Amino acid sequence: MEFDKPIKVIFLPQAEAFIDKLDKKSKQKLFTAIRKVRERLIGQWFIKLHGSDGINEFWFDESN
């Protein structure tokens, strides 16, 4: 996955509400994934949103 432009992370209101409810360890996992993406380290935690044009989403396992 190649990105020509800077990566900008925007949270929808529903995502902000979800993040507020996460425990500390899960928040750390999510924000680590965001940091990696901003550093152009793309992995299984950052995938293209199906049917979108240039929108990606973060995935992480909050159970570990």
| pLDDT tens for each residue of 10-28 | 888 998 999 999 999 989 9
Is there a domain that residue 5 lies in?
A: no
Query: Which residue, 12, 40, 14, 44, is CA-closest to 29?
Result: 44
Is there a domain that residue 1 lies in?
A: no
Is there a domain that residue 64 lies in?
A: no
Is there a domain that residue 18 lies in?
A: yes
Query: Which residue, 48, 11, 49, is CA-closest to 30?
Result: 11
Q: Distances from the Cα of 17 to the Cαs of 14, 21, 39, in angstroms? A: 5, 7, 26
The predicted pLDDT at position 51 comes to 84
Is there a domain that residue 42 lies in?
A: yes
Is there a domain that residue 7 lies in?
A: no
What residues in the chain have per-residue pLDDT under 70?
1-3, 60, 62-64
Is there a domain that residue 52 lies in?
A: yes
Token match 């570990």: residue? 64
Counted domains in the chain: 1
Q: Residue 52: which domain range?
A: 13-58
